[in-house]
Structure 1
């Protein structure tokens, strides 16, 4: 997959479209056909959704923007400020100048001045973000980088990434993964994500990890050699020290290392690289242990070989996913 950094004209065109849809969807005469066209535009590219959300935030805050008043009359008549007057102010901001809206949004910290999307398909990929930070993307991973006035923001859409963050105390570096986030100013760390599970491993520096973005102050600080894990619904991340022989960063060398793990713990690591994730038939199957070192590009060949190394057999569920079943002990004579 290739990187695409938008030109100023391309970015402006998307911003214009976001402003247009923001106005039309707030209009009383907006039709069902327009709403369908908006949904198709919105879902066509993550940046479309990103810019539309920014426009909604500008629209919502328009009531707080400075108002241009005529010369004061000797006896002004107070009038209640209605919802429609607030929407009119927001509409004026959008109609009279999208650049003004973007400029206002930038200075209020809501709109990014640059946007980059990166993907890694069949190979580990090394990239440089717009702020100079270095990132290694694992196979099948995707992230978005946006530069705001008050912070640099990465959204890890899927997969895994190792970050070597360019130091900037005035502009914190935030990685959003799952329902939580990691906040730093400059450091080296790894973020692994599979479905709603996230694991953050710190190599150098210090990071603040929260399991819920809405509770940004309710997290934990990591020191080098520590790891934080969380999943959807967790109030706090779980913290542990990384063992000296920890192999969670072996992917940077193209390897998946399974160090005598229970299948229930190993499958999320394996499934990250599979088109159809492997399921467990029951808890007894999940308790079986597996070890070995595998090349990342060959993980797909691991599943058919499991019955050769473990007391299991493979079936398939109604969704087409392979299912591991343990072979029960035969009764003794």
Structure 2
């Protein structure tokens, strides 16, 4: 079967299969055998992978649909797959029918525009549909959805610098990990690695919350202030930044480590690596490191560590490089 000879029915079958696999792979009872079968299906034809990626983007939109009324909800024996099936079916229906899509927009359930951006090997600058400018650092992925009552960005991984178009009636929300940054028009940076998030404000003001499940809009930042949070934090940690702050050096292609303990430096380094560095023990994490590095050459930084620090590298069972401190010899008696 080639792409040129596919009939309309065959295209529809691929779309249906992509929707099925999207639902199954997000289901809590998805088995290992099903995942193997999915990989075989995806590799069978180029259109399979294409349609599946398109379905994932619809899935992101479905995240924001309202939950069904509990009175008419599907049985609770397997609530997550039932809700997902409802959500993705509703989003496909709404995106396919202009009248329903218009109703979803007016109710604040569905966006009238959706964008997905990735940056892999190069820093990338993009323009959102509202006119806001975003710079994406290496290995960064985010989505943008424009809703009636707000503009939403989900930072899925990486780091981005935002120059937000001012609109006091249409707030701009950035979701990162469990937290959220809320603005109307400003310039700020959001860095994320695993469950750690750091927000640096350059201009304007933002409200930062560490957990969207908590009440309130969070803590307010002014220019030259920074907020940090991670999983489980009740409120962000707020601090002042200074003229020599290096948080935004990535916009010039640099990673600056200013005499940091390895324990603090590793999240900054690891976000550029496919195989993150690990620490052998807490004493190794206390060793300090400094320097200016090219963000495209962080692998070179890893290899140079034994040359500039009293450490050596090994690998763990998963193949990750591990930093070990060189033990100090006891003095001779």
Q: Which residue of 2 aligns with 1:67?
A: none
Q: Which residue of 2 aligns with 1:60?
A: 68
Secondary structure of 1:214 counterpart: coil
- In 2, the alpha carbon distance for the partners of 1:93 and 1:141 equals 26
- In 2, the alpha carbon distance for the partners of 1:266 and 1:93 equals 42
Judged with a 3 Å threshold, the aligned counterparts in structure 2 of structure 1 residues 318 and 113 are, in CA distance, closer, same or farther, namely: same
- In 1, the alpha carbon distance for the partners of 2:261 and 2:327 equals 17
- Cα deviation for residue 44 of structure 1 reads 3.8
Map 1:91-106 → 2, pairs under 5 A: 98-106=97-105
- In 2, the alpha carbon distance for the partners of 1:139 and 1:116 equals 18
Judged with a 3 Å threshold, the aligned counterparts in structure 2 of structure 1 residues 92 and 181 are, in CA distance, closer, same or farther, namely: closer
Judged with a 3 Å threshold, the aligned counterparts in structure 2 of structure 1 residues 93 and 186 are, in CA distance, closer, same or farther, namely: closer
- Cα deviation for residue 99 of structure 1 reads 3.3
- In 2, the alpha carbon distance for the partners of 1:306 and 1:220 equals 38
Q: Deviations over 1:3-59 (max 9, x none)?
A: xxxxxxxxxx9xx97xx97xx99xxxxxx9x9x98xx999644313124445xx357
- Cα deviation for residue 95 of structure 1 reads 7.8
- Cα deviation for residue 243 of structure 1 reads 2.6
Map 1:232-251 → 2, pairs under 5 A: 232-251=231-250
- In 1, the alpha carbon distance for the partners of 2:290 and 2:183 equals 34
Map 1:180-191 → 2, pairs under 5 A: 180-191=179-190
Q: Deviations over 1:228-251 (max 9, x none)?
A: 000011110000001331101000
Q: Deviations over 1:104-161 (max 9, x none)?
A: 2211111011111111111111111100001111011111011000001111111000
- In 2, the alpha carbon distance for the partners of 1:82 and 1:314 equals 58
Q: Which residue of 2 aligns with 1:126?
A: 125
Secondary structure of 1:303 counterpart: helix
Q: Does 1:166 align with 2:165?
A: yes
- In 1, the alpha carbon distance for the partners of 2:91 and 2:292 equals 58
Q: Which residue of 2 aligns with 1:297?
A: 296
For the pair shown, the structure with the greater C-alpha radius of gyration is: 1
- In 1, the alpha carbon distance for the partners of 2:141 and 2:90 equals 37
Q: Which residue of 2 aligns with 1:66?
A: none
Q: Which residue of 2 aligns with 1:5?
A: none
Map 1:215-230 → 2, pairs under 5 A: 215=214, 217=216, 219-230=218-229
- 2:62–2:91 CA contact under 8 A, matched in 1: no
Q: Does 1:49 align with 2:40?
A: no
Secondary structure of 2:68 counterpart: helix
- In 2, the alpha carbon distance for the partners of 1:295 and 1:92 equals 46
Q: Does 1:116 align with 2:115?
A: yes
Q: Does 1:288 align with 2:287?
A: yes
Q: Deviations over 1:148-180 (max 9, x none)?
A: 000011111110000000000111000001110
TM-score normalised to structure 1 length: 0.77
- Cα deviation for residue 273 of structure 1 reads 0.7
- In 1, the alpha carbon distance for the partners of 2:110 and 2:219 equals 28
Secondary structure of 1:252 counterpart: helix
- Cα deviation for residue 103 of structure 1 reads 1.9
- Cα deviation for residue 82 of structure 1 reads 6.7
Secondary structure of 2:135 counterpart: strand
- 2:61–2:91 CA contact under 8 A, matched in 1: no
The unaligned stretches of length 5 or more in structure 2 are 1-11, 25-30, 43-47, 75-86
The unaligned stretches of length 5 or more in structure 1 are 1-12, 26-31, 64-80, 85-89
- 1:94–1:101 CA contact under 8 A, matched in 2: no
- 2:58–2:92 CA contact under 8 A, matched in 1: no
- In 2, the alpha carbon distance for the partners of 1:117 and 1:92 equals 21
C-alpha RMSD over aligned residues:
3.4
Say how many residue pairs are matched.
285
Judged with a 3 Å threshold, the aligned counterparts in structure 2 of structure 1 residues 237 and 319 are, in CA distance, closer, same or farther, namely: same
